[in-house]
Chain A
Amino acid sequence: MNTSTPANVKLADSNIIVKAEKVNKHFGSLHVLKDISLEVRKNEVVVIIGPSGSGKSTFLRCINHLEKINSGHIYVNGHMIGYYERNGKLVEDNEKNISRQRAEIGMVFQRFNLFPHLTAIENIMEAPVRVRKAPADQVRVEAERLLARVGLADKRDQYPNQLSGGQQQRVAIARALAMKPSLMLFDEPTSALDPEMIGEVLDVMKELAHEMTMIVVSHEMGFARAAANRIVFVDQGQIVEEATPEEFFRNPREERTRLFLSQILH
């Protein structure tokens, strides 16, 4: 296994969950991520905001290697994600190692991506049973606990198409939590929801923010203000500004940030 080679174990500080160093990514001639560097500490909640097309979702997807990167490094829990280094060059890791790393990282998608052929509880149980090979009885108890936690204990045997968007997204959060991840990634989790359902999903996320390391790509400024430890503003593939929510909203340093905030905050 490549993740145990010294080159990959770099971080002395075990409190750093995510470390991105000068990450670059191109889609053809389009340079979507430009030298992105970011550190996220244990139990920190980082909200990434920025205009659409700024690269914020792409960056998030690089953290669990759903997207490849062209240069730079991303470490999660001290292990490089998706690659190992040979003679200073990135070499893509094998599928088994990548899958093992992804199992430690929960992800919640804009369009939920629940498995439509499985019930709510089966959605949650699928990965612990098939990937972790945990005993089904034990997993079921845990899955029921998670469903109760997101307020959907009574929906355990419903199929996704029998649930509202907000309910589906809450099941999707429970599904990701069932793997007991050390990091949760949220990719615009409320963007596909009807307005009246946004609150129920944000409530679950706020609850979670007390005890989980989270990176959230979102347009929900209210959530950012209430739950974020740090806000990262991304524009044109670059991190423009990083600040606490108070500083960020009250006193943005950069002109581009001020322009963006003036466009969305009314």
Chain B
Amino acid sequence: MYHFDWPLFFQYIWPPTAFQDPLIRNGLIATIVVSIIAQALGVILGLFVALGKMSKFPLFRVVSEAYIWYFRGTPLLVQMMLLFFGLGVTHLYDFPDLKFGALVITGAIQAGTLALGINEGAYMAEIVRAGIEAVDAGQMEAAKSLGMTYGLAMQRIVLPQAAKVIIPPLGNEFNSMMKTTSLMVVISAGELFYGFEQVNARLFKPFELFIAASLYYLALTTIWSFIQARIEASLGERKGIEHGPSMFERLFSGSSGKGAR
């Protein structure tokens, strides 16, 4: 019978003791920061790709379609390795560490964040497009009839309305993103799971340590779902949209988590 190492387990799930290990503390910070930056990158890319896909210029449409096709049709894990190791050997870009005083952003973190963001852009493009298409075509017509250009009408009239449709799935994407950052372990980027892996390499307690790691991710996604519910509620109040799923449904309904894609 396996002897479960309770003291070690508690040491690594209890934040004050766990954070004494810089691998865990910095890893957690990296996971949160990388998730936010990669998601923001994904939203920006997704917006441009969505607009490109709906453009009247065939070139923009083709480029956007190809982008979505490739990045949704190939594994993120492969994209990440390709970007970091593949680009590395070509010396087009070596991903040198960036130093800002005491803060060092390793090349692996840069490459991982970039890969996550570019991959996310392909998924966000479809979400943004669906959001734009959900806005009544009469809105664009009314804006144009008032002398607005397409760009101004998008910015002032269509996108603010599309945002109501985009924000709930965007929240789900971010939830997924926080979990997916763990894939960066393959390029040894110093995020949370890498931290636990390194501790495990030293102590060889994979059962205790990986349960502890999973509980950190569970805490992150749970806290996020509370924040998400708040955001959606305030959105609903202000603009009269339907209320999203309850906290219970959000946490326990088996909706399609993409996991490692």
Contact = CB atoms under 8 A, between A and B. Distances in A.
A109 B138 contact: yes
30 contacts: A66-B141, A66-B145, A95-B150, A96-B149, A99-B148, A99-B149, A100-B147, A102-B146, A102-B147, A103-B147, A105-B145, A106-B145, A107-B142, A111-B138, A113-B138, A113-B139, A113-B141, A114-B142, A115-B139, A115-B157, A115-B161, A117-B161, A117-B239, A130-B148, A130-B156, A131-B147, A132-B147, A159-B239, A176-B145, A179-B147
Which 9 pairs across A and B sit closest by C-beta, in order of nearness? A103-B147, A113-B142, A127-B146, A107-B145, A113-B138, A131-B147, A102-B147, A99-B149, A117-B160
B98 interface: no
B51 to A, nearest CB: 15
Interface of A: 64, 66, 95-96, 99-100, 102-107, 109, 111, 113-117, 126-127, 130-132, 159, 161, 172, 175-176, 179
B231 interface: no
A43 B147 CA distance: 22
Contacts of B240: 159, 161
Contacts, number: 67
B152 A130 contact: yes
A131 B239 contact: no
Given A66-B144, A130-B156, A113 B136 contact: yes
Q: Is the interface of B mostly helix, strand, loop or mixed?
A: helix
Given A99-B144, A132-B147, 20 more contacts: A64-B145, A66-B145, A95-B149, A103-B147, A104-B147, A106-B145, A109-B141, A109-B142, A113-B136, A113-B138, A113-B139, A113-B141, A114-B142, A115-B142, A116-B239, A117-B239, A130-B152, A131-B148, A176-B145, A179-B147
Contacts of A106: 145
A176 B138 contact: no
A130 B157 CA distance: 11
Contacts of A64: 145
A121 B143 CA distance: 15
A103 B152 CA distance: 13
A175 B141 CA distance: 14
B161 A99 contact: no
Contacts of A127: 146-148
Contacts of A116: 161, 239
A131 B146 CA distance: 8
A161 B136 CA distance: 15
- Most chain A beta-carbon contacts within 10 A, residue among B149, B160, B239: B149
A109 to B, nearest CB: 6
Nearest to B152: A130
A103 B146 contact: yes
Contacts of B136: 113
